[in-house]
Structure 1
Amino acid sequence: MKKPFCFVFLFSFFSLAFTQDSIQPLRVGYTRAAPFIIQEGEILEGINIWLWQRVAEDLNLQYELVPMQFSGMLDSLKAGKIDVSINPLTITSARSKEMEFTHSFYASHSTIVVAKQSSFQKIKQFVTSFFQVNFLRGFLVLFIILLFFGILAWMFERRKNPEHFRPGFKGLWDGLWWSVVTLTTVGYGDKAPKTRMGKIAALGLMFSGLLFVSGLTASIASSLTVNQLNSEAADFGDFKERRVGTIRSSESDDFLHAHFFKDIKTYSSVVPGLKELQANKLDAFIYDAPILRYRIKKDSSLQKLEVLPLKFDVQFYAFGIKKDAVELEQAISQRILEIMETQQWSVILAEFGLSEL
């Protein structure tokens, strides 16, 4: 009776030991994407690092972190060479065919970064605005109005008021000077009409000139505003003909191709692209707003760049799981939902400068 018992005991012991040894830790891929994944030397931190550590601890998951390039990480996940990607992956229909996604933990959007204009460029733009065709046309019409009423006043005043409106060519200059001084409301008083018709001409100059100058002023202001908007671009579509950069194999990369951007240069990470933008090798860099804002805020060498107030291509971030690992995905999703319902989640987001949308 003892031998069978010993045999069963030994069989159970070795079976259990074999089972424990056969359980492989999850291979978890990641790449830098501050503020979600921040790597300083050997130290890893960020929103996604914190979230994954909480999930893995609560579910008692064994894992090893594998640093990878973004495009290589996606390819490895699709091929099943890694089990999980903890980067903030955008959920798309194309990706869903090749991998599983956990419940989304953050909503974001794409935006555009451009190089700030220098003081010289702003002054040049301001001066150039005054040489636009519409402005020159308006200035010419204004000059004609001044000349017309100046000559009219001179014709009425030259005989009865020769002290102010001299005869000949000098009198024409007196009329033009008077009309300019009158319209600009400077009012030197050195010249003034005395005849009834001269005063009627002055009234005509005042009313017609006032209305025209108001319209001309509005036109100049509108021209300056339009030029400023054109230089900064008021919509992402304004960059379709320009040289733009983004991250290789990202959702932003797919978005730009889908919207017929013609000159796209891709990078493996954000910083090299922003460096080339600052060196004027790109006209703009387009990618996820929270990542771009955080990087520019934290990197003192990128302070000559600015994020435009544009929002497009709304994205929902989630962890990626290898295809058909449905039970793992469901367990992680459930835990993510539970963590997001806690106050601590809001605190973590605020700590890295983000907020829930």
Structure 2
Amino acid sequence: MAVPFVALLASRGPAWLHAVFRKGRYAFVVFALLTAIGGENTYAQMPQQQADGEDFPQRELVIGTKEALPFAMKDADGNWSGISIDLWREVAQRLGLKFRLAEEPNVQKLIEATSRGDYDVSVAAITITADREGSVDFSQPFYDTGLGIAVSVNSVSVWREIVRTMISAGFLQAAGALIGISLLVGALVWLFERRHNDDFGGPLGRGLGASIWWSAEAMTQASTGHRGPITIAGRALAIIWMVVSIITIAVFTASVTSALTTRQMRGLVNGVEDLPSVRVGTLANSATIGFLDGERIKHRTFVQVADGLRALEAGSIDAFVYDKPLLAWTVEQHFSCTVQVLDVDFEPQSYGLAMPLGRPYRKAIDVAVLQATHDQRWKATLFQSLGEKR
């Protein structure tokens, strides 16, 4: 680094250099060494200082956000707070940034505005997904979570469950099988008895109808005994049918009763495996919709989490699926007496800060996020807001 300095001196000419050395060569040597050492330090430090300043726009940054309690919350005066907001303030302080917050109504619009470059950074409870990575860049994850399920704490209505059971696919298949077998037995009895038994003889409609009716009476043990098969083949078939129908109806009745009792005691939903058979709700424009669509689970969307939880209270849906920490916080604050969050989580996901594609300050934000989330203050924030020890 001393080369430019020496070259400068050499440019003054040999006579000037000789005079300097002759009059004060020791002072010159000391001065040259100090300049060289100082120059190396100066040049070594400048790139880092310039990188921190030049990576970010030389203006007040515009930070996008949306309400996602408790990660981003706005009070009546328009002041923002929450886990994500506090994290961004810590990052901005570490990087010496000035900023202002701007609000979007939902995550989808927030992502779209960020991808257009309307916001320098977006901060909320933004789930990192493959689809979103195609339109924005994400920072290092600052919170790992998963989806949760909220259900009503009220007992399940017996009559509602009876109706639901009776119109379920399994019940209809079992009932259809019983009816089909009864029709088959009735037709066979008619074939065996039509020429030997006046009760099942006569025109086709009369004889076949009487045989089918007898088969149904035998199946349900409602026969009065005033008529029945008289041929050997007919009576053999009748005995077999009576025994089989008794066992079949007993098993069928026990299964339905057991299912109703289990649902009454445990509730309709106890895990992800129950979601396909119940009415599910979730938040509109959220990453949860991608999971439900992928699992082919029919669902109804709501504009706000609170709207979905109110529908859960009213009984118009059976489960509400959404990010577990946001769901648990909302339930704890406003629905603790009527709604509970199941002790299960699934579909792991992470939250991150979103930025327009290709911004040079992404690396600086990554470093600041990692530093902030490994600080004791971050652990205290999570414990105060969510009761989590990390």
Which residue matches 2:128? 91
Query: What is the CA distance between 1:34 and its match in structure 2?
Result: 1.3
Alignment of 1:34-113 (within 5 A): 34-41=69-76, 42-70=78-106, 71-113=108-150
Q: Alignment partner for residue 376 of structure 2, among 326, 343, 349?
A: 343
Deviations 1:196-250 (A, max 9, x none): xxxxxxxxxxxxxxxxxxxxxxx9x987874357633232131224332212222
Q: Alignment partner for residue 366 of structure 2, among 330, 333, 348?
A: 333
Query: What is the CA distance between 1:256 and its match in structure 2?
Result: 0.7
Evaluate the alpha carbon distance shift between residue 328 and residue 67 of structure 1 in structure 2; reply closer, same or farther with a 3 A threshold.
Answer: same
Question: What amino acid sits opposite 2:276 in the alignment?
Answer: K
Which residue matches 1:304? 338
Contact 1:104–1:316 (CA<8 Å) still a contact in 2? yes
Alignment of 1:96-245 (within 5 A): 96-118=133-155, 121=157, 226-228=262-264, 231-245=267-281
Q: Secondary structure at the match of 1:109?
A: strand
Question: What amino acid sits opposite 1:338 in the alignment?
Answer: Q
Question: What amino acid sits opposite 2:369 in the alignment?
Answer: I
Which residue matches 1:292? 327
Taking structure 2 as the reference length, the TM-score comes to 0.56
Contact 1:108–1:314 (CA<8 Å) still a contact in 2? yes
State percent identity of aligned pairs.
Answer: 28
Contact 1:290–1:354 (CA<8 Å) still a contact in 2? no
- CA–CA distance in structure 1, aligned partners of residues 267 and 141 of structure 2: 36
Alignment RMSD (CA, Å): 3.0
- CA–CA distance in structure 2, aligned partners of residues 343 and 64 of structure 1: 26
Deviations 1:12-34 (A, max 9, x none): xxxxxxx9xx8342221111111
Which residue matches 2:349? 315
Query: What is the CA distance between 1:123 and its match in structure 2?
Result: 11
Which residue matches 2:315? 280
Which residue matches 2:60? 25
Per chain length, whose mean CA-contact separation is higher, i.e. which structure has more relative contact order (CA < 8 Å, sep 6+)?
A: 1
Query: What is the CA distance between 1:88 and its match in structure 2?
Result: 1.9
Contact 2:69–2:326 (CA<8 Å) still a contact in 1? yes
Q: Alignment partner for residue 358 of structure 2, among 317, 324, 331?
A: 324
Question: What amino acid sits opposite 2:307 in the alignment?
Answer: P
Which structure is larger by alpha-carbon Rg, 1 or 2? 2
Query: What is the CA distance between 1:354 and its match in structure 2?
Result: 3.9
Deviations 1:303-337 (A, max 9, x none): 31111122111111111111111x22211110111
Mean alpha-carbon deviation: is it higher for 61-70 or for 287-296? Answer: 61-70
Query: What is the CA distance between 1:356 and its match in structure 2?
Result: 5.4
Contact 1:89–1:318 (CA<8 Å) still a contact in 2? yes
Evaluate the alpha carbon distance shift between residue 276 and residue 66 of structure 1 in structure 2; reply closer, same or farther with a 3 A threshold.
Answer: same
Deviations 1:30-71 (A, max 9, x none): 111111112221232111111111111221222221111112
Deviations 1:62-95 (A, max 9, x none): 2221111112112212222222210121111221
Deviations 1:167-189 (A, max 9, x none): xxxxxxxxxxxxxxxxxxxxxxx
Q: Alignment partner for residue 294 of structure 2, among 240, 258, 264?
A: 258
Taking structure 1 as the reference length, the TM-score comes to 0.61
Contact 1:111–1:287 (CA<8 Å) still a contact in 2? yes
How many residue pairs were aligned? 243
- CA–CA distance in structure 2, aligned partners of residues 354 and 330 of structure 1: 31
Contact 2:268–2:318 (CA<8 Å) still a contact in 1? no
Evaluate the alpha carbon distance shift between residue 225 and residue 316 of structure 1 in structure 2; reply closer, same or farther with a 3 A threshold.
Answer: farther
Evaluate the alpha carbon distance shift between residue 279 and residue 227 of structure 1 in structure 2; reply closer, same or farther with a 3 A threshold.
Answer: closer
Evaluate the alpha carbon distance shift between residue 259 and residue 49 of structure 1 in structure 2; reply closer, same or farther with a 3 A threshold.
Answer: same
Unaligned 5+ segments in structure 1 are 1-18, 126-218
Unaligned 5+ segments in structure 2 are 1-53, 162-254
Evaluate the alpha carbon distance shift between residue 267 and residue 228 of structure 1 in structure 2; reply closer, same or farther with a 3 A threshold.
Answer: same
Contact 1:77–1:85 (CA<8 Å) still a contact in 2? yes
- CA–CA distance in structure 2, aligned partners of residues 296 and 124 of structure 1: 25
